[in-house]
Amino acid sequence: PLKLAIVGRPNVGKSTLFNRLAGKKLAIVDDQPGVTRDRKFAAGRLGDLDLELIDTAGFENVSDESLEARMRAQTERAIEEADVALFVVDAREGVTHMDEVFAEVLRRHDRPVVLAANKAESRESGTGVMEAFRLGLGEPVAISAEHGEGMADLYAALLAVAPEEDEDEADEADKPVRIAIVGRPNAGKSTLVNRLIGEDRLLTGPEAGITRDSIPVDWEHDGRRVRLVDTAGLRRKAKVQEKLEKLSTQDTIRAITFAEVVLLVMDATHPFEIQDLQIADLVEREGRGLVFVLTKWDLIEDPQTRLAELIDEAQRQLPQVRGAPIIALSAETGRGLDRLMPAVFKTYGDWSTKVKTRDLNDWLQMAIQRHPPPSVNGRRIKPKYMAQTKARPPTFVMFASRADQLPESYRRYLINSLRESFDLPGVPLRVTIRSSR
């Protein structure tokens, strides 16, 4: 999906636009007043464009003096995470000083910008749309978020600036692997992170404790760059006096959204609880790589037997992520820690796999021979051809006659066989089956 940051000063209609583009609204669980929710995230769609929306709304209540500086900082972070910035101005009010401040921030970044002049449904807004030209960010797209007008133009504008899906392989190689560390409160996440990268690095930041925002933390392991993409849950715990012991759904979703590999940290003394299963399922549905971490392993009496039991339990409870690595370690003693990052890199590699079309079709023929597909009304369903359409996660399309009648069980057989044949344990695989003549 295209990561789209919706930015602009308060009251221009960012939230209305966010809600219009968001397919489903995320449940925001927050019963702690006074903790600023400074960004919202959601999956969205415009035409056939899949979007990952980042909304920076919610600064309206901050005291005036710091508003501008904070919005700037917030906006910059949102832009950095996004592929494209959607800059919203109010066509009825025309260009204000604050709009110009934003325009400057946007011009300084190298992200593509689409300028939208909102509230353009009324006739008086025409001059405001024209005025927006002077922001120097190209032709404004006149829209009405509230009435859903101008969406086709917005789509065209986004498509024109969206980066190519397939990034350069060389570029890919020096990008850090983005990981997120999630799990229930007290599972041992902070202890693990501190052990991994050192306390100082995690907790320093320009605005530590002011917002609940996350600061990316970078480090290197074995010559490879790693970025911890979401520290919100960890930082909040360290900085907000009142301990928030609840698992925040939004923090978890946000972390998963921006990660490539997710480390699901579980307290080894009570692992695989219902919330852990839910998180693992979410990681699978979001198409991210997954590594299970059983921490506090120093507290386990008969480690070998216990590990075998837990591997069994994972297979049983979470067949959808079958084969995802399970790393038992103690963040306290450091034992087992050396196996963690290699597992992360292996998962990342699997997740980025591109299978050659030829190998895929050789495999397909072999798989059908070994276990022929069923017949429907006396006629055999025949898988014919398969190709990988993208990686991260590996996504395939398969053409078959009478595809719509292919039973789910056969589809599962194919996916499992694909997993085994190409050694892709644990990573989510997407297979779409289409009809061919």
Q: Does the footprint of ligand GDP cover residue 271 (CB under 6 A)? A: no
Name the minimum Å distance from CB 187 to ligand GDP.
4
Name the minimum Å distance from CB 55 to ligand GDP.
27
230 is in an annotated binding site: yes
Residues in region 328-347 near ligand GDP by CB under 6 A: 330-332
Q: What is the DSSP letter of 149?
A: B
Name the minimum Å distance from CB 211 to ligand GDP.
19
Q: Does the footprint of ligand GDP cover residue 187 (CB under 6 A)? A: yes
Name the minimum Å distance from CB 75 to ligand GDP.
29
Q: Does the footprint of ligand GDP cover residue 239 (CB under 6 A)? A: no
Residues in region 39-68 near ligand GDP by CB under 6 A: none
Q: Which stretch binds ligand GDP (CB under 6 A): 16-24, 178-186, 308-316, 360-368?
A: 178-186
Q: Does the footprint of ligand GDP cover residue 248 (CB under 6 A)? A: no
Distance between the two ends of the chain, CA-based, in angstroms?
30
**Binding ligand GDP by CB under 6 A: which of 188, 289, 393, 426?**
188
- CA pair distance 421, 429, nearest whole angstrom: 13
Query: Are the C-beta atoms of 5 and 102 separated by less than 8 Å?
Result: no
Name the minimum Å distance from CB 245 to ligand GDP.
8
Cβ burial, residue 397 (10 Å; 0-12/13-18/19+) = middle
Distance of CA 249 to the CA centre of its chain: 14
Name the minimum Å distance from CB 333 to ligand GDP.
7
Name the minimum Å distance from CB 238 to ligand GDP.
9
Rounded to 10°, the helix 274-285/249-258 angle is 30
Q: Which stretch binds ligand GDP (CB under 6 A): 84-92, 180-188, 351-359, 379-387?
A: 180-188
Name the minimum Å distance from CB 251 to ligand GDP.
12
Residues in region 142-171 near ligand GDP by CB under 6 A: none
Query: Are the C-beta atoms of 298 and 330 separated by less than 8 Å?
Result: yes
DSSP string, 262-277: EEEEEETTS-S-HHHH
Name the minimum Å distance from CB 285 to ligand GDP.
23
Q: Please state, in angstroms and as integers, the Cα–Cα distance from residue 190 to each residue in 51, 179, 187, 197, following that order.
A: 31, 14, 9, 11
- Letters for 219-238 (x = contact with ligand GDP by CB under 6 A, - = none) are ------------------x-
**Binding ligand GDP by CB under 6 A: which of 296, 346, 392, 419?**
296
**Binding ligand GDP by CB under 6 A: which of 186, 315, 357, 365?**
186
In the bound state with ligand GDP, the residue whose beta carbon lies nearer, of 10 and 185, is: 185
8 is in an annotated binding site: yes
Report which of 210, 249, 215 is spatially closest to residue 230, judged by C-alpha positions. 215
Burial state string for 400-434 with b = 16 or more CB within 10 A and e = fewer than 16:
bbbbebbeeebbeebbebbbebbebebbbbebebe
Measured in degrees and rounded to the nearest 5, phi and psi for residue 296 equal 60, 30
**Binding ligand GDP by CB under 6 A: which of 189, 227, 235, 419?**
189
233 is in an annotated binding site: yes
Q: Which residues, other chains included, contact 52 with Cβ-Cβ below 8 Å and sequence gap of 6+?
A: 1, 2, 3, 4, 41, 42, 43, 44, 257
The contacts found for 172-177 with CB under 8 angstroms, 24 or more apart, are 172/352, 174/225, 175/225, 176/218, 176/225, 176/226, 176/227, 177/224, 177/225, 177/226, 177/227, 177/260, 177/261, 177/344, 177/345, 177/348
128 is in an annotated binding site: no
Its sign, for the CA torsion 88, 94, 98, 103, is positive
Q: Does the footprint of ligand GDP cover residue 180 (CB under 6 A)? A: no
In the bound state with ligand GDP, the residue whose beta carbon lies nearer, of 125 and 252, is: 252
Report the interface residues with ligand GDP, using CB under 6 A. Answer: 183, 185-191, 237, 295-296, 298-299, 330-332
Instruction: Could you list the residues known to form a binding site for GTP, using ranges.
Output: 8-15, 55-59, 118-121, 183-190, 230-234
Instruction: Could you list the residues known to form a binding site, using ranges.
Output: 8-15, 55-59, 118-121, 183-190, 230-234
